[in-house]
Structure 1
Amino acid sequence: MNAGLSVEELEARSKQERERREKDALRTKREQERVPLPEAAGTAAHATKTAADAKPASAAPSREEGPNGVKPLDAIVKLEMLMDKDAETIGKIWNQHHASKPGRLSALVPAETYRQMARRAREFPSFILPLPREQGAEFFWLQFSGHQCYFTSLAEYKLHGEQARPYLVLTHYPELIESKQIVLMRGELGDADGAKEGQSTLMTSEDARLLVYLLQDFYVTGSEAKQKLVEQFHREPATFKFEELMDAVNRLG
């Protein structure tokens, strides 16, 4: 881990990319707000179609799409059919829907857990997580963007920055956070749709599940020491030690 970019350089690059994405999102929003007016000779039907075709200003920018195209929640499940169900039943429906889909993960996140993670994600939008291997570990760079979290190989991120391939994209759907006190999570493994039998060529489902667990552990549910590592990565990058991160992961058992 001594080769390549330092923690300070990684954080600086991440900050630059966040600022660029924010500018792109603002530009996209402004463009979406410019709804073209129908021509004077046009009909009322033409005017209606023009307004219907225009994306609302709140629509997510294209950068928010995952490796296989992230669908809005109402394109995955009919929300009206869930409103009379309790959280446990909704969770079963959600997980059963994804169980037969290779390269997909799903989970039910308690509302307060997600609120805490979202708050910390805004303050600490990037981090590094290791997956233990037979020899050493493989490190992954994570980056929050809105209700999504992108994971990519740290080695690829050092080489390609934002152009690095997404190995895993998590999308959180907060539509039921007030009414049911839950958030639905959907995970998509990169390259799963294009690989044989839907299995990702970049990451196994087991590794993806471990990354999801580690994300929640270091950002919300883990010890104070683990959460301080996330803070140290951003606030005191010169003192951040990969060895301490590895020790924290190795003590999971």
Structure 2
Amino acid sequence: MSSSAVMAICLKRWPHYIHKITKTKNIMTTASKCEKAMENLQKNPYFEKYAERIASLQKTSPEEFLKRLEEQEKSREQEKKKKFASVDTRQYSSVLNPKKDVVNKQSVEDKKLDEILKIDLVQDKDASEIQVIWEEYHKNKEVISATIPSPLYREIKERMVENPTFLFPLPREQGYEFIMCQSYGHAVHFTPLLAFQVHKENAPECLTMIHYTELEDKGIVLMRGEYDKNVLNGQEAQCLANQFQIYYNGKDEDKLKLLHSFTKSPDSFKHMDLITELENITLV
């Protein structure tokens, strides 16, 4: 599945159902394409050892010959994606320009909803009216936002405490880049894994999501996320936010197992399982 297809799936909002997108290619059968394939094969250092066998297969079954070549090419592409899973040119801005000071997580926690939305002005509104106001306010701003039912947020918050750190794969042109998230109180901080490996606690964040609980008595929690535009675009920030909610809401057993595995038995955790889950994602 292409990274753009995976991104499209990632951006879907539950409760939609997503069907895996597959692509097929026609097997090459023309003589000119056979000749081109042979030219590429001859560059392989082991070509001479198997030249006679290859020539025989090409002559007796050109379609089978080309099918095998195509399978080998797919295998090489998959290995390349794995090798460059954390490579993307935009991430170098964060690696080469780390923050000078350690992030003050507490200062983020001190942020109040009243700095964004005057609570006094919405006290007479119900949850649905506040949701409309919140969405309209952020519609043309370069941030992401959401309105979360209070019972659901309490479940998410419980898992944030139990599993304060996790990884998410982000579709990129050359494969996937892994983004690490860390939860502190009602805030979630996202950092490119490569940047964290280089700069540790000084690594710059690419996305910070804050959950405001001041209106929890009305049955809602408001979320606002600000992202570094040198590292992420709006769709990528939304993709990370959606993955966070899917994993931390506890409704998918497979994803919940991965969350617990990362926290409780990291030695057995396989990060490629995260990519598999993302490519086969079904939002419920």
Question: Structure 2 length as normaliser, TM-score?
Answer: 0.61
Sort the Cα spacing of 1:251 and 1:158 in 2 relative to 1 into closer, same or farther, 3 A: same
CA distance in 2, matches of 1:205, 1:92: 20
Q: Secondary structure at the match of 2:180?
A: strand
User: Is the contact made by 1:143 and 1:151 (CA closer than 8 Å) also made in structure 2?
Assistant: yes
| Alignment of 1:186 onto 2:224 | yes
Which of the numbers 57, 63, 78 marks the counterpart of 2:105? Answer: 63
Alignment partner, residue 15 of structure 1: none
CA distance in 1, matches of 2:251, 2:178: 19
User: Is the contact made by 1:170 and 1:185 (CA closer than 8 Å) also made in structure 2?
Assistant: yes
Q: Secondary structure at the match of 1:121?
A: helix
Alignment partner, residue 177 of structure 2: 138
Alignment partner, residue 80 of structure 1: 120
Superposition map of 1:1-253 within 5 A? 62-65=104-107, 71-102=111-142, 104-177=143-216, 179-190=217-228, 200-252=229-281
Q: Which amino acid aligns with 2:179?
A: F
Could you tell me how far 1:234 is from its partner in structure 2?
Answer: 1.0
User: Is the contact made by 1:64 and 1:148 (CA closer than 8 Å) also made in structure 2?
Assistant: no
Could you tell me how far 1:2 is from its partner in structure 2?
Answer: 8.6
Could you tell me how far 1:88 is from its partner in structure 2?
Answer: 1.0
Could you tell me how far 1:221 is from its partner in structure 2?
Answer: 4.8
User: Is the contact made by 2:191 and 2:206 (CA closer than 8 Å) also made in structure 1?
Assistant: yes
Q: Which amino acid aligns with 2:221?
A: V
Alignment partner, residue 55 of structure 2: none
Q: Which amino acid aligns with 1:228?
A: K
Sort the Cα spacing of 1:122 and 1:2 in 2 relative to 1 into closer, same or farther, 3 A: farther
Q: Which amino acid aligns with 2:224?
A: R
CA distance in 1, matches of 2:122, 2:161: 29
CA RMSD between the two structures? 2.3
Structure 1 vs Structure 2: percent identity of aligned residues? 36
Q: Deviations over 1:26-69 (max 9, x none)?
A: xxxxxxxxxxxxxxxxxxxxxxxxxxxxxxxxxxx943345xx9
Q: Secondary structure at the match of 1:85?
A: coil
User: Is the contact made by 1:216 and 1:222 (CA closer than 8 Å) also made in structure 2?
Assistant: no
Q: Deviations over 1:92-147 (max 9, x none)?
A: 11111112222x11110111111001101111100000012333211000000111
CA distance in 2, matches of 1:252, 1:134: 19
Q: Which amino acid aligns with 1:186?
A: R
Q: Secondary structure at the match of 1:92?
A: helix
User: For structure 2, which runs of at least 5 residues remain unmatched after alignment?
Assistant: 1-81, 85-101
Sort the Cα spacing of 1:105 and 1:146 in 2 relative to 1 into closer, same or farther, 3 A: same
Q: Which amino acid aligns with 2:195?
A: E
CA distance in 2, matches of 1:221, 1:205: 25
User: Is the contact made by 2:105 and 2:184 (CA closer than 8 Å) also made in structure 1?
Assistant: no
Higher relative contact order (CA 8 A, sep 6+): 2
Q: Which amino acid aligns with 1:235?
A: K
